[in-house]
Chain A
Amino acid sequence: GAVVSQHPSWVICKSGTSVKIECRSLDFQATTMFWYRQFPKQSLMLMATSNEGSKATYEQGVEKDKFLINHASLTLSTLTVTSAHPEDSSFYICSARVPGQGAYGYTFGSGTRLTVV
């Protein structure tokens, strides 16, 4: 089946540094990818929608200058957390719509646990 590979699976970084998370669609072309974030004891919340070759669309309350999303190719989307702070510590996960599977074809990456110290 369609697979989205997400890396790294976990990362610890110092406050003030930047972290890049990658999501690659391995056997299909993802024109659109979705980035979610989950805080402890809360549900996954959509952060932004990234479209290949264009600017990402951010959800209300998500700082676009802090969470940089790049979708430069049909198989790769990246989320960069810039100047990370401890409050950015969270679980980040990407999702992509799988072509040819109609309105119901989605696949998720395995997620990235970010801890900012």
Chain B
Amino acid sequence: DQQVKQNSPSLSVQEGRISILNCDYTNSMFDYFLWYKKYPAEGPTFLISISSIKDKNEDGRFTVFLNKSAKHLSLHIVPSQPGDSAVYFCAASDTFTGNQFYFGTGTSLTVIP
């Protein structure tokens, strides 16, 4: 049972434009969310996080939005750069009951120069 879903396996964006990656989850108990970036043959690199007490968290070009009622979060990258081309995973956790993170299947982002 996939509790975290990324329904878009791939996304292509022109350099300089906005990239929007989406993630949906089913467990209303999730209260902590992460976005990771992963290059081929490398481990995930932490990008940005958000807890359920917030609906937005910004770090430089990266902003994560959380819509708890819709059980949806999104990652915005503005402006997109070719070096942003990678696979992006969202992950969620119910920090109250456990430490396990549930990951989405990833979205492969290609930023076209």
A42 at the interface (CB under 8 A from B): yes
Q: How far apart are the CA atoms of A106 and B36 in the complex, in Å? A: 12
Q: How far apart are the CA atoms of A111 and B37 in the complex, in Å? A: 13
Stretch binding the partner chain, chosen from A43-51, A62-70, A73-81, A82-90:
A43-51
> Could you count the A-B residue pairs with CB atoms below 8 Å apart for me: how many are there?
57
By the criterion CB–CB under 8 Å, are B41 and A113 in contact? Answer: yes
Which of A49, A97, A103, A109 has a CB less than 8 Å from the CB of B43? A109
Q: How far apart are the CA atoms of A113 and B42 in the complex, in Å? A: 8
Q: How far apart are the CA atoms of A43 and B96 in the complex, in Å? A: 23
A18 at the interface (CB under 8 A from B): no
Number of A residues, CB within 8 Å of B:
26
**Minimum C-beta distance from B6 to chain A (A):** 8
Which B residues are CB-close (under 8 A) to A36?
101, 103
Q: Please, what's the 1-or-0 string for B87-108, where 1 marks a CB less than 8 Å from any CB in chain A?
A: 0010100011001111111100
B16 at the interface (CB under 8 A from A): no
Near A by CB (< 8 A), chain B positions 14-34 give 32, 34
B66 at the interface (CB under 8 A from A): no
By the criterion CB–CB under 8 Å, are A106 and B43 in contact? Answer: no
By the criterion CB–CB under 8 Å, are A106 and B101 in contact? Answer: yes
By the criterion CB–CB under 8 Å, are A93 and B101 in contact? Answer: no
Q: Please, what's the 1-or-0 string for B56-85, where 1 marks a CB less than 8 Å from any CB in chain A?
A: 000000000000000000000000000000
Which of A43, A95, A109, A111 has a CB less than 8 Å from the CB of B106? A43
B111 at the interface (CB under 8 A from A): no
By the criterion CB–CB under 8 Å, are A42 and B105 in contact? Answer: yes
A15 at the interface (CB under 8 A from B): no
Which B residues are CB-close (under 8 A) to A34?
99-101
28 contacts between A and B (CB under 8 A): A9-B41, A9-B42, A32-B99, A34-B99, A34-B100, A34-B101, A36-B101, A36-B103, A38-B103, A41-B105, A43-B2, A43-B89, A43-B104, A43-B105, A43-B106, A44-B101, A44-B103, A45-B103, A46-B101, A49-B99, A103-B32, A103-B95, A103-B96, A104-B49, A106-B99, A107-B46, A108-B43, A110-B43
Residues of B within 8 A of A (CB): 2, 4, 32, 34, 36, 41-44, 46, 49, 51, 89, 91, 95-96, 99-106
